[in-house]
């Protein structure tokens, strides 16, 4: 049985005092990854160190982005080594907002994955199709390519450090969640693609869903066979909503056991 992950992607939201208040509330909620899902928070990087200090809950902190070079003249960038030095060991890679707003190419994404693994980070690789690709009925082929172009070169041990987040672009921030049928189709397909390519690790790679996942729909999404949790944007900014989503993952895991 794969353990679920509930991850908060705050994107470029919340001021420092709001982030701190969130963390204090989360700390008071006595989360435990031994009984509940793994919880990861991806705040803006400038807050990570402070949040680690405030945190008394069983929560890990990840960065929304890092550069693949070790050090040097890369103005504005943060390296994996620097993140590691403040206690951060999880990274988001390939988010559609980075692919589109910041023109991140497949080759950059691949280099980031390699740098992450080289620095012993756990990685959440995001993939997702646009509405036009889905309307053409080409989403499965597209997703397979997007997945394999980033991880095909890895070995079984390396792929075990990766989780996948399926985030259909048309569902991100739109309030338009993929249906259970659509989610099952994609997640089952990604699972068989992973197992074909990585017969040992493929069944253990966790596949999260992201895209208008919230406290109301988390339960039915997390109950899908190959949905191993969620990557939450908007609904993760409100600690009560986020806690309800964690609770949903907890409930579903309990029933599955």
The site for ligand 13P (CB under 6 A) is made up of: 9, 95, 167, 172-173, 210-213, 231-235
DSSP readout, 55-115?
--SS-EEEES--BSSSSSS-TT--BHHHHHHTT--EEEE--HHHHHHT---HHHHHHHHHH
Nearest alpha-carbon partner for 67 in 45, 97, 96: 45
Residue 36 or 128: the one with the smaller Cβ distance to ligand 13P is: 128
The one catalytic residue in 97, 104, 167, 215 is 167
Q: How far is the CB of 210 from ligand 13P (least distance, A)?
A: 4
Residue 125's DSSP bridge partners are 93, 164
Q: How far is the CB of 178 from ligand 13P (least distance, A)?
A: 11
Does the active-site annotation cover 167?
Answer: yes
Residue 40 or 201: the one with the smaller Cβ distance to ligand 13P is: 40
The one catalytic residue in 95, 139, 187, 247 is 95
Contact 245, 6 (CB under 8 A): yes
Q: How far apart are CA 227 and CA 220, in angstroms?
A: 10
Q: 14's torsion region: left (phi>0), alpha (psi -120 to 50) or beta?
A: left
Does the active-site annotation cover 153?
Answer: no
Q: How far is the CB of 157 from ligand 13P (least distance, A)?
A: 26
Residue 174 or 203: the one with the smaller Cβ distance to ligand 13P is: 174
Q: How far is the CB of 93 from ligand 13P (least distance, A)?
A: 12
User: How do strand 38-42 and strand 60-63 relate by DSSP bridges?
Assistant: parallel
Residue 6 or 201: the one with the smaller Cβ distance to ligand 13P is: 6
Which residue's Cβ lies closest to ligand 13P?
Answer: 233
Tell me the catalytic residues.
95, 167
């Amino acid at each position: 049985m794969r353990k679920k992950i509930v991850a908060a992607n705050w994107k470029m939201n919340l001021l420092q005092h709001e982030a701190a208040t969130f963390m204090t509330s989360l700390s008071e909620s006595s989360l435990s990854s031994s009984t509940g899902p793994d919880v990861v928070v991806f705040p803006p990087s400038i807050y990570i160190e402070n949040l680690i200090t405030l945190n008394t809950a069983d929560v890990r902190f990840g960065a929304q982005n890092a550069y693949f070079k070790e050090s040097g003249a890369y103005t504005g960038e943060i390296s994996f080594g620097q993140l590691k030095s403040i206690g951060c060991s999880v990274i988001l890679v390939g988010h559609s907002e980075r692919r589109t707003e910041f023109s991140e190419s497949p080759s950059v994404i691949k280099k980031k994955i390699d740098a992450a693994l080289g620095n012993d980070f756990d990685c959440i690789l995001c993939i997702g199709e646009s509405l036009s690709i889905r309307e053409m009925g080409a989403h499965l082929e597209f997703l397979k390519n997007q997945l394999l172009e980033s991880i095909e070169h890895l070995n079984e041990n390396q792929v075990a450090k990766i989780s996948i987040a399926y985030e259909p672009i048309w569902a991100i921030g739109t309030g338009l969640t993929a249906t259970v049928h659509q989610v099952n189709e994609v997640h089952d397909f990604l699972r068989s693609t992973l197992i074909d390519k990585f017969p040992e690790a493929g069944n253990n790679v966790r596949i999260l869903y992201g895209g208008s996942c919230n406290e109301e729909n988390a339960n039915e999404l997390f109950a899908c066979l190959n949905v191993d949790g969620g990557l939450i944007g908007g609904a993760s900014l409100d600690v009560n909503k986020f806690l309800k989503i964690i609770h949903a993952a907890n409930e579903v895991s309990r029933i599955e056991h």
